[in-house]
Amino acid sequence: MKQALIRAIAGILVAVCLAAIAAAQQIDWIELVPAEDRATFDPAPPPPAHDYLGGEAGGLAAQQPLNFKVNRDLEGREIRIPGFVVPLELDDAGHVTEFFLVPYFGACIHVPPPPPNQMIYVIMKKGIQLDSMYSAYWITGKMSAKTRKTGLGVAAYTLTATEYEEYQF
């Protein structure tokens, strides 16, 4: 009787875990691009551009093409995606609680930033203990794909993350 109960509980636990894993669908960066645009999408970093501010600040907006679209199918989905972390906010313990998740390292320094639909703004309450900015991480959470228009272009994805795991190359 007792053993049966334990077995039942264990079974439920396994089922719950499997369900949680199944719910967070693993996706690739290309899936952030709407299906109709994927054929023409070039995953290489955008070419370097110079002097966006040139004279008047208006020049800044011009460099960012405004025709990037988000994949609406991802709205509200539980996903798991690997990427590099660009820290924005830290909590008291030094854990990163807000960051950009980007597909290639140094997206903010050496090459121009990725297009808006190749960048995810992540909010993670418990935070990532970031040992090195050169490490990549799997981030799991709920995706929001709402278009927000700014003077610098449109953007895109917000992920409310719950779990992270270091990516093994």
Partner 1 sequence: MTPLVALAAQSLWNRRGSAALTVFAIAVSVTLLVGVETIRGGTRESFARTISGTDLIVGARSGPINLLLYSVFRVGDATANVSWQSYELVSRHPDVAWTIPISLGDSHRGYRVMGTSGEYFLHYRYGDRQALAFSAGEPFKDAGDAVVGADVARELGYAAGDEITLAHGIGAGSFTGHDEYPFRIAGILAPTGTPVDRTVHVGLDALAEIHEDWQGGARTQVDSSRHPHDGDAPEDAGADTATQPSPAGITAFLVGMRSKDAVLQMQRALNEFRGEPLTAIIPGVALQQLWQIVGVADGALLVIASFVVLAGLIGMLTAILASLRERRREMAILRSVGARPLHVFTLMLLEAALLALAGVLVGVVTAHAILAGAAPVLAGRYGLFMATDGPRVYDLLLAGAVVGAALVTGLVPAWLAYRNSLADGLTIRT
Per CB under 8 A, residues contacting partner 1 are 49-57, 60-61, 63-64, 86-94, 96, 98-100, 107-108, 112-113, 116, 119, 121, 130, 132-133, 148, 150-153, 155-156
Which lies closer to partner 1 via its Cβ, residue 39 or residue 93?
93
Which lies closer to partner 1 via its Cβ, residue 7 or residue 148?
148
Shortest Cβ 37–partner 1 spacing (Å): 19
Shortest Cβ 39–partner 1 spacing (Å): 26
- On whether the CB atoms of residues 92 and 129 are closer than 8 A, the answer is no
The CA distance from 104 to 120, in Å, is: 12
Shortest Cβ 20–partner 1 spacing (Å): 28
Which lies closer to partner 1 via its Cβ, residue 20 or residue 61?
61
Compute and round to an integer the Cα radius of gyration of the chain. Answer: 19
Shortest Cβ 55–partner 1 spacing (Å): 8
- On whether the CB atoms of residues 26 and 80 are closer than 8 A, the answer is yes
Which lies closer to partner 1 via its Cβ, residue 27 or residue 111?
111
Tell me how far CA of residue 66 lies from CA of 34, 52, 69, 75, 103, in angstroms. Answer: 15, 15, 9, 20, 20
- On whether the CB atoms of residues 108 and 86 are closer than 8 A, the answer is yes
Shortest Cβ 126–partner 1 spacing (Å): 14
3-state SS assignment for residue 53: coil
Exposed / middle / buried, residue 67 (Cβ in 10 Å: 0-12, 13-18, 19+): exposed
Which lies closer to partner 1 via its Cβ, residue 25 or residue 108?
108
Q: How many CB atoms sit inside 10 A of residue 88's CB?
A: 13
